[in-house]
């Protein structure tokens, strides 16, 4: 479906053209004075200078052409030449009825279907997910779902950190604890055990111990570096041990990501691009993109127009080992070869801005990525505690993500009304769904690039701009429709009629902007814009609900229209929360 504002703009543009002016001047915007009108056109002011007429004269010419239009209820000129317009109520009702019949509530499939890779995991194996991982997961999942909703071919990649120094630290710590394991015997020729020599809970303890020891002991750090280098060089025992670490970690990661309704199409890591590095380095050398600097192999990515220093990208260290920049560039090489994407979106902490600026410049300069490949860095801010510092446990440590999920579910559980007759199982399911909405909406409703304060009490509240409030509105509409069905077998087949009141008109106008909101959220990669819309729509519906007795309304035509309008509101809100990866309970 064409967006309502575009349909109306087309008619005004035609009027400008009919009067001898350029059609683009007829573009409409949503009025910044809703008390005066719903839409406005400032084209007459723009045209005045070029056509040497007063803006008011031009505006009145346009009004004369549009005076018999069926699309507008009223049109007027104001001030120096603004054109104020209100859409015809019947046209608005017809538009909403088309939305109601459409599977995607008026959102068309994109004309230009793109292949998009969203890189939004970044978890490190051998470590549990902590609160610092939540933003990449929920923002990336929302961007993936919104993009896919518009028909794009979207591939979500977890891009695990599974090939770096932390693996070397774990290997050397295991060697200190269990030196007799066959993985450490270079002369061992038999089959390695199929079961890991550790549990996932033991692995979660091994890494921090190894890390702390290596940071305070240079010999241990050097041993970890050596183990990392030998692993990457293919030492069989270390590779077998690495597979145990990877398999155990991925199983646990899938469980925790799954509890957030976050799903990946690809479970690839840094290790998966290792086979491309030699070929990539050879290509860079043969095409004279590299040079040596203090023994390291680098590519210069600075530009004359730079206002600040952009350091060269290091491809290989002086000992020949690779770095994060190496694997990130090789991953782009791999993605281009495997998927030929139109766009790659990285959802990563904003503090990595310089790293990705270097990587993007390098792949563009060297031709690894064509000019047509769009590379987007979505740098997000940090989730902070009430003290304004990165969110910690009460003991001052970094909280595990699973513990955070359980904490907010517990907070929601305390708010549920046990008198409503919930079974223990239902209480748990409602707390899980509502808790998830509190956690994800609390994050996504903030501008991606901004830091924000995580407030459990605020986010789990059933009032205000929160996930539970959005869900409560949907559940309220479900209850209204269920009561209508039980009384009169309402099945949602009737039509939305012209509005009977201002609050109903406000609701209809807000619903008509759904496709516009989805498209804008996609173009700007800003899920918070969808959250703003959901909150405004929920507020607008609840005002409408409190102003009208929907179920007891005696005028059947009015009642039927209201039920149909409520049904469309539910459909739009349910679609919206699904795009954020939030589930709706049957009742709250």
For position 146, what pLDDT does the model report? 98
- Cα 187 from Cα 270, distance rounded (Å): 28
- Cα 477 from Cα 297, distance rounded (Å): 62
3-state secondary structure of 229: helix
Angle at CA 446, nearest 5°, toward 442 and 449? 135
Structural domains in the chain (count): 2
Is 141 inside a domain boundary?
Answer: no
The DSSP output letter for 129 is -
Structure tokens belonging to residue 451: 């830091």
Is 30 inside a domain boundary?
Answer: yes
Is 296 inside a domain boundary?
Answer: no
pLDDT, block means (10 residues), the chain with 588 residues? 97 97 97 93 95 96 96 94 97 97 96 97 91 95 98 98 93 96 94 95 93 95 94 94 96 95 96 95 97 96 95 93 93 98 97 97 98 97 88 74 93 82 89 96 96 92 96 97 76 82 97 98 98 98 97 92 97 98 94
- Cα 461 from Cα 333, distance rounded (Å): 46
For position 486, what pLDDT does the model report? 73
CATH of the domain at 55: 3.30.1360.70
Is 8 inside a domain boundary?
Answer: yes
Q: Which residues contact 194 (CB under 8 A, 6 or more apart)?
A: none
Is 437 inside a domain boundary?
Answer: no
Q: Which of 87, 110, 127 is the last residue before a domain boundary?
A: 87
For position 414, what pLDDT does the model report? 87
Q: Which of 31, 53, 87 is the last residue before a domain boundary?
A: 87
| 264 Cα distance to chain centroid | 13
Q: Which of 87, 121, 152 is the last residue before a domain boundary?
A: 87
State which residues form the domain around 47.
4-87
For position 380, what pLDDT does the model report? 96
Is 224 inside a domain boundary?
Answer: yes
Structure tokens belonging to residue 304: 């004359």
For position 490, what pLDDT does the model report? 55
- Cα 82 from Cα 55, distance rounded (Å): 8
For position 491, what pLDDT does the model report? 54
The DSSP line for 503-519 is HHHHHHHHHHTHHHHHH
Cβ 169 vs Cβ 278: under 8 Å: no
Sign of the Cα pseudo-torsion (545, 546, 547, 549, in order): positive
Bridge partners (DSSP) listed for residue 72: 87
Is 18 inside a domain boundary?
Answer: yes
Q: What is the C-alpha R_g of the chain?
A: 29
Cβ 273 vs Cβ 119: under 8 Å: no
Q: Which of 481, 405, 457 is closest to 436 using CA atoms?
A: 405
Is 228 inside a domain boundary?
Answer: yes
pTM for the model stands at 0.94
């Amino acid at each position: 479906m064409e967006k309502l504002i575009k349909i109306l703009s087309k008619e005004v543009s035609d009027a400008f053209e009919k009067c001898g002016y350029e059609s683009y001047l007829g573009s409409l915007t949503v009025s910044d004075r809703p008390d005066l009108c719903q839409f406005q056109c400032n084209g007459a002011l723009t045209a005045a200078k070029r056509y040497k007429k007063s803006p008011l004269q031009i505006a009145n010419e346009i009004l004369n052409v549009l005076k018999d239009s069926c699309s507008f209820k009223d049109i007027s000129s104001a001030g120096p030449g603004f054109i104020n317009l209100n859409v015809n109520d019947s046209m608005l009702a017809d538009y909403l009825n088309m939305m109601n019949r459409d599977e995607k509530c008026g959102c068309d499939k994109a004309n230009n279907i793109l292949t998009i890779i969203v890189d939004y995991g970044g978890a490190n194996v051998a470590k549990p997910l902590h609160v610092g991982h939540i933003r990449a997961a929920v923002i990336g999942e929302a961007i993936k779902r919104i993009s896919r909703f518009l028909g794009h071919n979207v591939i979500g990649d977890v891009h695990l950190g599974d090939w770096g120094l932390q693996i070397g630290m774990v290997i050397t710590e295991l060697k200190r604890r269990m030196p007799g394991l066959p993985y450490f015997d270079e002369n061992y020729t038999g089959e390695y055990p199929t079961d890991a020599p550790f549990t996932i809970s033991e692995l979660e303890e091994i890494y921090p111990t190894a890390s702390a020891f290596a940071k305070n002991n240079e010999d241990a750090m050097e041993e970890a570096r050596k183990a990392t280098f030998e692993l990457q060089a293919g030492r069989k025992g270390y590779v077998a041990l690495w597979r145990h670490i990877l398999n155990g970690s991925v199983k646990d990661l899938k469980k925790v990501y799954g509890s957030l309704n976050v799903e990946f199409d690809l479970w690839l890591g840094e290790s998966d691009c290792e086979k491309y590095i030699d070929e990539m380095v050879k290509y860079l050398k043969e095409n004279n993109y590299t040079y040596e600097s203090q023994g390291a192999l680098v590519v210069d990515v600075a530009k004359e127009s730079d206002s600040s220093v952009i350091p060269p990208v290091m491809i290989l260290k002086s000992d020949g080992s690779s770095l994060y920049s190496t694997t990130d560039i090789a991953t782009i090489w791999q993605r281009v070869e495997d998927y030929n994407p139109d766009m790659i979106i990285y959802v990563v902490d904003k503090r990595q801005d310089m790293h990705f600026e270097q990587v993007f410049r390098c792949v563009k300069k060297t031709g690894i990525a064509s000019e047509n490949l769009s590379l987007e860095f979505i740098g997000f801010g940090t989730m902070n505690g009430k003290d304004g510092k990165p969110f910690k446990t009460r003991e001052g440590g970094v909280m595990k993500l699973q513990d955070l999920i359980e904490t907010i579910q517990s907070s929601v559980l305390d708010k549920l009304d046990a008198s409503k007759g919930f079974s223990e199982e239902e209480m748990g399911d409602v707390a899980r769904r509502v808790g998830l909405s509190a956690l994800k909406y609390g994050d996504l409703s903030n501008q991606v690039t901004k830091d924000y304060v995580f407030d459990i009490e605020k986010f789990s509240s059933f009032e205000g701009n929160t996930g539970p409030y959005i869900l409560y509105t949907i559940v309220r509409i479900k209850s209204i429709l269920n009561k209508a069905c039980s009384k009169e077998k309402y099945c949602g087949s009737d039509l939305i009629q012209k509005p009977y009141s201002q609050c109903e008109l406000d609701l209809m106008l807000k619903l008509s902007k759904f496709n516009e909101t989805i498209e804008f959220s996609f173009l700007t990669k800003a899920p918070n814009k969808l959250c703003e819309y959901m909150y405004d729509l929920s507020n607008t519906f609840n005002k409408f609900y409190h102003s009208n007795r929907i179920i007891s309304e005696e005028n059947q035509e009015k009642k039927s229209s209201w039920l149909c309008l409520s049904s469309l509101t539910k459909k739009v809100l349910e679609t919206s929360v699904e795009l954020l990866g939030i589930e709706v309970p049957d009742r709250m």
